[in-house]
C-alpha cells in the first residue's frame, strides 16, 4: 500500500529505522545452567538469509534481499529455482533495505543513503547488461520514488528537493538513460497523488489548525479544493489509490465515524461507497488485483490481522492459503497474469515462511524461511492480547512475552514475579502488533518478561484513540505506560523492584520521561535515539518535513507560541535531569536527521554536569536506528550486559560483538560490565 494517510509521510518521525531489521549468523546455541539455551545475539539481530521476496511482473523470476559477503544485496533467479539466484547489486557496506521491480521485467530499483542521513538516492540495475546506474547523483538531496506504472515501463515519477529543501518537485525519469523531465514544480504541497497515466490528480497540504486540504488541478492550471480533512481525522484519513480507469478513488476515511474505513469515491459526483470497515480497528492493508486494480480483500488489525474478502474471486484462494501453514498470511507479491503469488506466513515464535502459490492450480510450494538458523530454536509465545484498562478507562491493546519455563501451568502468568522490560514502540503514531519480535525473544531468552503497550496516540484503534494523545507527551501518554506497569505488578507478572523501560525513537523519549518524570518506577532505562528536548527536536526537523509542521504543533506543542514553548519545556526530560536516580544507557546515530545527535549530547552533558552517571554509545556511521548488523549486534551486547547488571537477567558476554562495528562510547564505559575491556581489546 503506497500512502494510507495524510500525515503518514512523517508519522514515522520517531519510529525506528533499521534497528531490528533481520536475524543473523552464528555458530549455534550456548547451553546454560538455567535450562533453555542462550540464543546468540547474531541469530537475533544479524542479517536474514532471505527477506523481501518478490516475483517479477511477468512471473518468470524471483528476487529477494540476502547477504553477499555479509552485506544485504538484491538477488534474482528463476522462479522455478530460487536457490539458483545470484546477486545483482554490490553494496559493500550499509546494505540495501528497500527495492522493487519495474515493469520492464529487466530492471530493479533500489534506494540508498549515506551513513543514515536519509538523503536517498535512486539506483537502477539492468539485469541484462548488469549495469548499475545512480539515477539521482545529487549531493544533499533526497529522492523519492513517487509512482511506478505498467503503462510506462521504462519511466518512473520521482520527487526531488533539489530546488528547495522543503519541497519535492516531480520529475519523469527514464530508468535506462537517466533523463529527467520536470512535470510539477512544487512550492506548496506536502504530497501528490498520481494515476497510472502519470497524471497528477491531487495534491495535499496541511492547514494552520493541523488539518489538511486535498486539491485537484483545474483546466486553467490552478488548483481547487477537492476535500477538507479536520485535524482530528488527518492521521486516519487519506487517498490510497485509483482503480484501473482512474475514475474511482480508493479512500481511507474516519470522518463521521471513529475507525478508518475503506471507501470508493467517484471524484466527478462525490458519491462515496463503503467497501470495508471494522468497529474496533482502522483499515490496515488490502489486496488489489495487479491489473484490474479492484479491491479484493481488506485487512483490519485489532489483536491480530483479520482479512475481509471483498471480491469473491479470491475467496477460495484465501481459504486455501489459510490451511497451508500456521500464522497470519500476507500476499506480498503477484505477477501481472495473477498466476504467481508470493505468500508469507508470520508467527510469533519463529521465522517467516515464504511460499510460491499457483492460483490456477491452487497449489502452494514452500520456498524457504527468512532465517533457517531460527527454525528449531526455543522461542517464547507472545501473549495475545492483554487489554489493559488505563486509569481513565481506555482499552490499551498490549502484548507480552514470558520466558520459556516461567509459566508451567500455561495460565499466562509466571510462577513468580519476574524482572520486566517495558519495551515502548516508536512513532508515537504507530503501533505494536502480534508477530515475531526479535527484541521480545532476546529479552525473554535472557530471563525477562517483556511488555509492549499501545498507549493513547498509537494508531490502528480509531481516530478518538489517536487524538487522546494530542498534547499528552510525557503526560497521559506516559500515564498509560505506568498503568501498564501497575497492571503487570498486580497480575503477578512483574517484580516491582525490577522493571526497566526501553525503546527507540519515541520509545527513547518515553525512557527518558520514565527516568525523569517517574524516577521511582523504573530500575533502569535504555534510550535509543530518543529526543530529550522537544523544543530543539521540532526546531531541527528535516526541511522536507516543514510542510507538515502543523502536525507537530497540534499534537506535541507549538514551538512558535509562548504557551506552546512552555508546554514543550515542561514535557522535555532535559529540564528534569536532576530527578534521574536510576542507571541510564543512551545510544545514538551521529547522522540521524530526525532526532539529531544533539538530543543525546544535551542530556548526557547535563547529567555529567550534575555528576549523574550515564553510559553513552555513539555510532558515527548510523542515522535513526542501526542499519549495519555489526552495529546492531554491538549495541545489544552492551544493552544486555547493562540490563543484567540492574535487573539480574542472564547475558552473553560481549566477546567479539564489536568486530567490524564502529561503536564508540564517549561517556560511561565503566558503568557496564565488560564494556571498557571490550573497547580496549578492540583497539589493542
3-state DSSP assignment of residue 636:
helix
Query: Which of 284, 592, 600, 646 is the catalytic position?
Result: 592
Look-up of cell digits 523501560: 501
Look-up of cell digits 527484541: 439
d(CA 340, CA 289): 12
493-508 residue pLDDT tens:
999 999 999 999 999 9
Report the range of poorest mean pLDDT among 18-27, 143-152, 532-541.
18-27
d(CA 479, CA 336): 49
Mean pLDDT of 530-544: 97
Question: By C-alpha distance, which of 242, 356, 237 is closest to 295?
Answer: 242
Query: Which of 191, 359, 458, 505 is the catalytic position?
Result: 505
Asked about 646 being catalytic, the answer comes back as no
Helix (H) or strand (E) segment spanning residue 401: strand 395-401
d(CA 637, CA 629): 12
Residue 51 has pLDDT above 80, yes or no: yes
Angle formed by the axes of helices 476-490 and 506-517, nearest 10°? 80
Mean pLDDT of 295-314: 97
Q: Report the share of the chain in percent with pLDDT over 70.
A: 95
DSSP secondary-structure letter at 322? H
Question: Does the bond joining 428 to the residue before it have cis omega, within 30 degrees of 0?
Answer: yes
Residue 683 has pLDDT above 80, yes or no: no
Q: Report the share of the chain in percent with pLDDT over 90.
A: 93
Task: Compute the Cα dihedral for 17, 23, 24, 28 and give only its sign.
Answer: positive
Mean pLDDT of 271-287: 97
Strand partners, 329: 345
d(CA 503, CA 510): 7
d(CA 600, CA 159): 31
User: 669: which residues sit within 8 A by CB, 6+ positions away?
Assistant: 615, 675, 676, 679
Asked about 592 being catalytic, the answer comes back as yes
177-232 residue pLDDT tens:
999 999 999 999 999 999 999 999 999 999 999 999 999 999 999 999 999 999 99
d(CA 633, CA 464): 39
Look-up of cell digits 548488469: 130
Q: Which set of grid coordinates corresponds to residue 139?
A: 549531493
Mean pLDDT of 627-652: 97
**Whole-number mean pLDDT of the chain?**
94
Which region holds residue 4: left if phi is over 0, alpha if psi is between -120 and 50, else beta?
alpha
Give CA separation, 244 vs 183, 294, 295, in Å.
22, 7, 11
Three-state SS string over 7-42 comes to CHHHHCCECCCCCCCCCCCCCCCECCCCCCCECCHH
Question: By C-alpha distance, which of 149, 147, 191, 148 is closest to 168?
Answer: 191
User: 490: which residues sit within 8 A by CB, 6+ positions away?
Assistant: none
User: 186: which residues sit within 8 A by CB, 6+ positions away?
Assistant: 159, 164, 167, 168, 169, 170, 192
Strand partners, 368: 354
pLDDT value for 29: 40
pLDDT value for 655: 84
d(CA 424, CA 414): 22
- Beta carbons of 192 and 203 less than 8 angstroms apart: yes
Question: By C-alpha distance, which of 278, 281, 190 is closest to 238?
Answer: 190
- Torsions phi, psi for 350 (to 5 deg): 180, 180
Give CA separation, 156 vs 129, 146, 172, 195, 198, in Å.
20, 8, 6, 12, 9
Question: By C-alpha distance, which of 196, 175, 362 is closest to 290?
Answer: 196
Mean pLDDT of 592-609: 98
- Beta carbons of 580 and 611 less than 8 angstroms apart: no
Look-up of cell digits 530527578: 579
3-state DSSP assignment of residue 516:
helix
Can you list the pairs that 195-200 forms with residues at least 24 positions away whose Cβ atoms lie under 8 Å? 195/242, 195/246, 196/149, 196/150, 196/151, 196/242, 196/244, 196/246, 196/293, 197/149, 197/151, 197/246, 198/147, 198/149, 198/151, 198/152, 198/155, 198/157, 198/172, 199/246, 200/170
Residue 276 has pLDDT above 90, yes or no: yes
Q: How far apart are the first and last CA of the chain?
A: 50
Asked about 358 being catalytic, the answer comes back as no
Report the range of poorest mean pLDDT among 72-86, 521-535, 598-612, 648-662.
648-662
pLDDT value for 40: 95
d(CA 116, CA 123): 17
Residue 681: which pLDDT band, with cuts at 50, 70 and 90? Answer: confident
pLDDT value for 5: 53
Q: How many CA atoms does the CB half-sphere of 172 hold within 13 Å?
A: 15
pLDDT value for 14: 59
Q: Return the ∠ at Cα 529 (arms to 445 and 601), rounded to 5°.
A: 125
pTM for the full predicted model: 0.95
Residue 1 has pLDDT above 50, yes or no: no
Query: Per-residue b/e over 546-584, b at no fewer than 16 CB within 10 Å?
Result: ebbbbbbbbbbbbbeeeebbebbeebbbbbbbeebebbb
Residue 354 has pLDDT above 50, yes or no: yes
- Which one has a higher pLDDT value, 683 or 89? 89
Q: Which set of grid coordinates corresponds to residue 189?
A: 504541497
- Beta carbons of 452 and 427 less than 8 angstroms apart: no
Helix (H) or strand (E) segment spanning residue 589: strand 584-589
Residue 25 has pLDDT above 70, yes or no: no
Which region holds residue 344: left if phi is over 0, alpha if psi is between -120 and 50, else beta?
beta
Look-up of cell digits 545475539: 41
Question: By C-alpha distance, which of 77, 19, 18, 63 is closest to 442?
Answer: 19
Query: Which of 624, 634, 644, 661 is the catalytic position?
Result: 624
3-state DSSP assignment of residue 61:
strand
- The structural domains of the chain, ordered by start, are 382-683 (3.40.50.1820)
What stretches of 200-244 adopt beta strand conformation (E)? 200-206, 212-217, 223-229, 238-242
3-state DSSP assignment of residue 572:
coil
Amino acid at each position: 500500500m503506497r500512502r494510507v494517510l495524510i500525515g503518514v509521510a512523517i508519522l514515522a518521525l520517531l519510529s525506528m529505522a533499521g534497528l531490528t531489521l533481520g536475524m543473523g549468523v552464528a555458530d549455534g546455541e550456548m547451553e546454560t545452567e538455567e535450562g533453555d539455551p542462550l540464543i546468540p545475539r547474531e541469530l537475533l539481530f544479524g542479517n536474514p538469509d532471505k527477506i523481501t521476496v518478490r516475483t517479477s511482473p511477468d512471473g518468470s523470476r524471483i528476487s529477494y534481499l540476502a547477504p553477499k559477503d555479509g552485506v544485504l544485496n538484491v538477488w534474482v533467479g528463476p522462479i522455478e529455482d530460487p536457490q539458483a539466484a545470484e546477486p545483482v547489486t554490490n553494496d559493500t557496506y550499509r546494505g540495501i533495505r528497500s527495492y522493487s521491480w519495474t515493469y520492464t521485467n529487466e530492471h530493479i530499483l533500489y534506494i540508498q543513503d549515506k551513513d543514515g542521513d536519509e538523503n536517498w538516492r535512486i539506483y537502477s540495475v539492468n539485469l541484462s547488461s548488469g549495469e548499475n546506474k545512480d539515477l539521482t547523483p545529487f549531493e544533499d538531496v533526497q529522492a523519492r520514488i513517487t509512482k511506478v506504472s505498467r503503462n510506462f515501463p521504462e519511466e518512473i515519477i520521482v520527487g526531488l528537493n533539489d530546488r528547495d529543501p522543503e519541497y519535492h518537485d516531480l520529475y519523469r525519469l527514464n530508468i535506462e538513460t537517466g533523463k529527467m523531465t520536470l512535470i510539477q514544480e512544487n512550492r506548496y504541497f506536502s504530497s501528490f497523488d498520481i494515476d497510472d497515466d502519470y497524471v497528477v490528480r491531487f495534491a495535499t497540504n496541511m492547514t494552520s489548525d493541523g488539518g489538511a486540504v486535498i486539491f485537484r488541478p483545474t483546466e486553467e492550471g490552478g488548483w481547487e479544493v477537492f476535500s477538507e480533512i479536520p485535524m482530528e481525522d488527518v492521521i486516519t484519513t487519506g487517498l490510497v489509490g485509483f482503480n484501473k480507469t482512474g475514475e474511482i478513488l480508493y479512500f481511507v476515511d474516519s470522518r463521521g465515524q471513529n475507525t478508518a474505513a475503506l471507501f470508493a469515491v467517484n471524484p466527478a459526483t462525490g458519491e462515496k461507497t463503503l467497501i470495508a470497515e471494522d468497529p474496533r480497528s482502522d483499515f490496515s492493508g488490502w489486496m488489489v488485483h495487479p491489473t484490474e486494480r479492484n479491491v479484493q480483500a481488506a485487512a483490519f488489525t485489532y489483536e491480530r490481522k483479520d482479512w475481509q474478502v471483498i471480491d469473491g474471486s479470491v475467496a477460495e484462494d484465501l481459504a486455501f492459503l489459510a490451511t497451508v501453514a500456521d500464522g497470519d498470511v500476507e500476499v506480498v507479491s503477484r505477477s501481472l497474469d495473477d498466476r504467481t503469488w508470493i505468500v508469507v506466513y508470520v508467527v510469533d515464535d519463529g521465522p517467516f515462511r515464504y511460499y510460491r502459490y499457483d492460483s490456477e492450480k491452487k497449489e502452494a510450494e514452500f520456498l524457504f524461511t527468512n532465517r533457517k538458523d531460527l527454525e528449531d530454536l526455543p522461542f517464547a509465545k507472545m501473549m495475545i492480547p492483554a487489554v489493559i484498562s488505563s486509569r481513565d478507562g481506555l482499552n490499551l491493546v498490549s502484548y507480552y512475552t514470558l520466558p520459556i519455563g516461567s509459566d508451567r501451568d500455561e495460565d499466562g502468568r509466571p510462577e513468580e514475579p519476574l524482572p520486566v522490560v517495558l519495551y515502548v514502540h516508536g512513532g508515537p503514531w504507530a503501533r505494536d502488533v502480534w508477530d515475531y519480535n526479535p527484541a521480545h525473544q532476546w529479552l525473554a531468552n535472557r530471563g525477562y518478561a517483556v511488555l509492549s503497550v499501545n498507549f493513547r496516540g498509537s494508531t490502528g484503534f480509531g481516530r478518538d484513540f489517536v487524538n487522546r494523545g494530542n498534547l499528552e507527551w510525557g503526560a497521559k501518554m506516559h500515564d498509560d505506560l505506568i498503568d501498564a506497569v501497575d497492571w503487570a505488578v498486580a497480575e503477578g507478572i512483574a517484580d516491582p523492584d525490577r522493571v526497566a523501560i526501553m525503546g527507540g525513537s519515541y520509545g527513547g523519549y518515553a525512557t527518558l520521561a520514565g527516568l525523569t518524570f517517574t524516577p521511582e518506577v523504573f530500575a533502569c532505562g535504555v534510550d535509543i535515539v530518543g529526543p530529550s528536548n522537544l523544543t530543539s527536536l521540532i526546531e531541527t526537523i528535516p526541511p522536507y518535513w516543514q510542510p507538515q509542521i502543523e502536525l507537530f504543533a497540534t499534537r506535541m506543542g507549538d514551538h512558535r507560541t509562548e504557551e506552546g514553548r512552555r508546554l514543550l519545556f515542561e514535557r522535555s526530560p532535559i529540564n528534569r535531569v536532576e530527578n534521574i536516580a536510576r542507571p541510564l544507557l543512551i545510544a545514538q546515530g551521529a547522522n540521524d536527521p530526525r532526532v539529531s545527535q544533539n538530543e543525546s549530547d544535551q542530556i548526557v552533558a547535563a547529567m555529567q554536569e550534575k555528576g549523574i552517571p550515564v553510559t553513552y554509545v555513539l555510532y558515527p556511521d548510523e542515522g535513526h536506528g542501526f542499519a549495519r548488523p555489526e552495529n546492531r549486534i554491538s549495541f545489544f551486547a552492551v544493552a544486555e550486559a547493562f540490563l543484567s547488571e540492574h535487573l539480574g537477567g542472564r547475558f552473553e558476554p560481549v566477546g567479539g560483538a564489536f568486530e567490524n562495528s564502529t561503536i564508540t562510547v564517549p561517556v560511561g564505559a565503566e558503568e557496564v560490565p565488560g564494556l571498557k575491556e571490550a573497547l580496549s581489546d578492540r583497539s589493542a
